Structure 1
Amino acid sequence: MTRATREQLPGDGLVLAVPDGRPGPPPLRFERAKGRGWVLRQGERPLIQARSEGDGCCRNLHLRRLPGHRSPLPPISAATMRSRTNWPHRYGRWLEETAHGPLHHGRWMLTPRTTFAPGIWNCDLVRDWPDATLELLCGGGWHGVLPLRPLPAPDAPRVKAYRKHAREGTLAPVLLWWVSFLDGWLLLDGHDRAAAALVEGMQPACVELVRVPDDADWRATAEKITEVHEERVARLAARPAGPHTADQRQALNRGYADVISTLPYDADATPVFERPHD
């Protein structure tokens, strides 16, 4: 892959602006299936086959996961984990180089993820394999973590080795991919590390991969928001000044600045590709 342009973010994060230099869809991608279904593929290998059932906005999503997932990251040595590493930047470089990842044209944000809603890493972590049913909330969301291979047992050799790192605070973070239509995450790398942290009673450290809007898209949205903001400011200025006018103007400007500053980094829709005709 052609190298992405990097934008540094506060707190060790970054945005990768991936150029449109790769023909066809990315190696790891969602594809539409017949009816209300989709497939997650890595290359030509299906990893998840899913179908939605039920009427109305609250439906069940039935999943069958298949073996063969290949991590987009290389194995991480104990020495690397104990080094002082900026994990989002290192994972970003590996994702650029891999032949098994989801990156394609557009902007992708990689940031440390330290807080989750209650239950994400226990009751909303899918442990059933290979079949599972997700109860989607109204609007289609679910909000949990979906592993792409079975989580290992607590006494598995690699889990035992990683538990020591978890206790030492040197365990490399897992890599999560935020999927908009699931309102949840796929666990792309770190199944053994996640299991080790959970056995130790810890929430796994995470790096989150999120597709964010292209520059043209968020700038177009910013223009519309700016027009509305200017109209509100003009209406306020046309009124007789009162004791709270200055505070109202300040609140308008502060709200406008807050919204504009987050637009380039809001999660964008995860694309679902059409299956090429054979």
Structure 2
Amino acid sequence: MNRATREPLPGGGLVLTVPDSGPDAGPDVVPHSVPSLRFERATGRDWTLTQGERPLIRARSEGDGCCRDLHLHRLPGHRSPLPPVSAAMMRAGGDWTHRYARWLEDAKEYGPLHPGRWQLSPRPTFAPGIWSCDLVQDWPDATLELLCGGGWHGVLPLRPLPAPDAPRVKAQRKHVREGTLAPVLLWWVSFLDGWLLLDGHDRAAAALAEGTPPACVELVRVPDEADWRATAEQITESHEEMMARLAAHPASPHIDRQRQALERGYADVISTLPYDAGGTLMR
């Protein structure tokens, strides 16, 4: 099988480059061109999250101006793209990020991967409120108050979170106390400026019942190589023009400081371009 290529990142993350499965891709490439889990635009204000042929979310944006309300109606039937994680597997531990990457590659029936570059990385911390007031617990209907620019910056489960005393949650709470709980899987959605909870609803409920946010692996679409290289060329051209203008001035400590600041800023921007969060595909 022609697997996606992997680029390891500092901190235990990786970039997964999923190959195209078009007519020239070869018979052994995993078919991801039209992912099972996908967003589909119905009208200018309506969209649907679909898994296979089953709708999971029907959404409608209402209001005028930049701050709107997004009304959601979620439906049952979400299937996790990851296989069940056993208690023995959690106690054994391991590299969950790379394991989830492999499972997502194989999740042709339920997963979101399509050709391109995807970053998976541990997400140990969040801004205050993400797993409390910004965790959507109403079911099946909910309303998100989108901030100016379109986002809301919270976590949206794809099925109801079970109660803290549910039997399967009780079993997971022991792993929280032991420090062996497997991370949940979050998918960053750019036009929501927030995350979908793809896997680990019981584990999330267990961690929250124990008073701690769950450990997470975050799945983010990042720019394709051609796109970030084109952006890098534009930034480089602009940087070279600014450096040339500085070079036309007489040498001085002030000019030296400006040059150093420009060089540092240029290096910082170029180094992060391949890993900046990209836009989530809406079909």
**TM-score, normalised to structure 1's length?**
0.96
Q: In 2, distance between residues paired with 1:209 and 1:72?
A: 12
Q: In 1, distance between residues paired with 2:210 and 2:218?
A: 22
Equivalent positions of 1:212-251 (< 5 A) are 212-251=222-261
Question: Secondary structure, in 3 states, of the residue corresponding to 1:262?
Answer: helix
Q: In 1, distance between residues paired with 2:168 and 2:263?
A: 53
The one-letter code of the counterpart of 1:5 is T
Aligned to 2:8: 8
Question: Secondary structure, in 3 states, of the residue corresponding to 1:252?
Answer: helix
Tell me how far 1:247 sits from its aligned partner: 2.2
The one-letter code of the counterpart of 1:249 is R
Judged with a 3 Å threshold, the aligned counterparts in structure 2 of structure 1 residues 245 and 24 are, in CA distance, closer, same or farther, namely closer
Q: In 1, distance between residues paired with 2:93 and 2:157?
A: 27
Question: Secondary structure, in 3 states, of the residue corresponding to 1:41?
Answer: strand
Q: Which runs of 5+ in 1 are unaligned?
A: 274-278
Aligned to 1:276: none
Q: In 1, distance between residues paired with 2:203 and 2:218?
A: 15
Question: Secondary structure, in 3 states, of the residue corresponding to 2:101?
Answer: helix
Q: In 2, distance between residues paired with 1:17 and 1:154?
A: 38
Residue 62 in 1 paired to residue 74 in 2? Answer: no
Greater shift in the superposed pair: 77-86 or 121-130: 77-86
Q: Percent identity?
A: 79
Tell me how far 1:221 sits from its aligned partner: 0.1
RMSD of aligned residue pairs (Cα, Å): 1.1
Question: Secondary structure, in 3 states, of the residue corresponding to 2:7?
Answer: strand
Aligned to 1:20: 20
Tell me how far 1:2 sits from its aligned partner: 4.1
Aligned to 1:143: 153
Question: Secondary structure, in 3 states, of the residue corresponding to 1:272?
Answer: coil
Q: In 2, distance between residues paired with 1:261 and 1:157?
A: 47
Residue 88 in 1 paired to residue 97 in 2? Answer: yes
Equivalent positions of 1:1-278 (< 5 A) are 2-21=2-21, 22=31, 24-98=33-107, 99-273=109-283
Tell me how far 1:244 sits from its aligned partner: 2.5
Question: Secondary structure, in 3 states, of the residue corresponding to 1:61?
Answer: strand
CA deviations on 1:210-249 (whole Å, 9 max, x unpaired) are 0000000000000000001111111111101112332221
**TM-score, normalised to structure 2's length?**
0.94
Tell me how far 1:257 sits from its aligned partner: 0.4
Q: In 2, distance between residues paired with 1:247 and 1:177?
A: 41
Number of positions where the alignment pairs a residue of Structure 1 with one of Structure 2: 273
